[in-house]
């Protein structure tokens, strides 16, 4: 995560502070600054889905929301958020959809998907790669390239 301190100095938490063993002290020193001045901090890209998932779980756990996150309700929430994403395209051309709203709804969909994966102890990288492999078998390039036909119609 990249953020600025009281003096507007930019820090990369993962490299600069953690490497020096100063992260805990630094965050405590700046705690009131972060609470009293809600700044949107830019994060560098997550190295993998697991890191993103852990960030989401920390967010959930800090609010004691795990008690509401059973698999059924997470799946329903994912479906509802996907419907909200679809609604952004309703009755308009795709290029007319509001990109900021798309980002918000897509983030909700991905967030709930990650929480479902956590609930079942699934490795997101592994399951997505496995699904791509399965789809590769169902849709071989020589038969599926350039067509939208279902695998059983190729």
What is the CATH number for 77? 1.10.287.1080
Domain, as residue range, for 28? 1-44
Q: Quick one: 89 and 112 in the same domain?
A: yes
Residue 150 in domain:
no
Distance CA 115, CA 112 (A): 5
Distance CA 61, CA 89 (A): 33
Comparing CA positions, the residue from 87, 120, 33 lying closest to residue 11 is: 33
Characterize the bridge pairing of strands 10-12 and 2-4. Answer: antiparallel
Q: pLDDT 10s digit of each residue in the chain, 154 long?
A: 444 444 444 444 444 444 445 555 555 555 444 443 334 344 444 458 888 899 999 999 999 999 999 999 999 999 999 999 999 999 999 999 999 999 999 999 999 999 999 999 998 888 888 998 898 889 888 888 899 888 888 9
Residue 115 in domain:
yes
């Amino acid at each position: 995560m990249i953020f600025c301190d009281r003096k507007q100095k930019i820090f990369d938490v993962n490299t600069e502070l953690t490497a020096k063993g100063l992260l805990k002290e630094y965050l405590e020193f700046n705690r009131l600054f972060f609470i009293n001045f809600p700044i949107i901090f830019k994060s560098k890209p997550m190295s993998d889905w697991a890191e993103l998932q852990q960030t989401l779980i920390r967010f959930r756990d800090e609010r004691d929301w795990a008690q509401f996150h059973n698999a059924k309700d997470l799946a329903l929430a994912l479906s509802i958020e996907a419907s909200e994403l679809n609604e952004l395209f309703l009755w308009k051309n795709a290029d007319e959809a509001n990109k900021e709203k798309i980002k918000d709804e897509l983030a909700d969909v991905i967030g709930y998907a990650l929480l479902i994966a956590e609930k079942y102890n699934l490795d997101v990288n592994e399951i997505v790669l496995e699904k791509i492999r399965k789809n590769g078998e169902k849709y071989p390039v020589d038969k599926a390239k350039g067509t939208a036909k279902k695998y059983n119609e190729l």
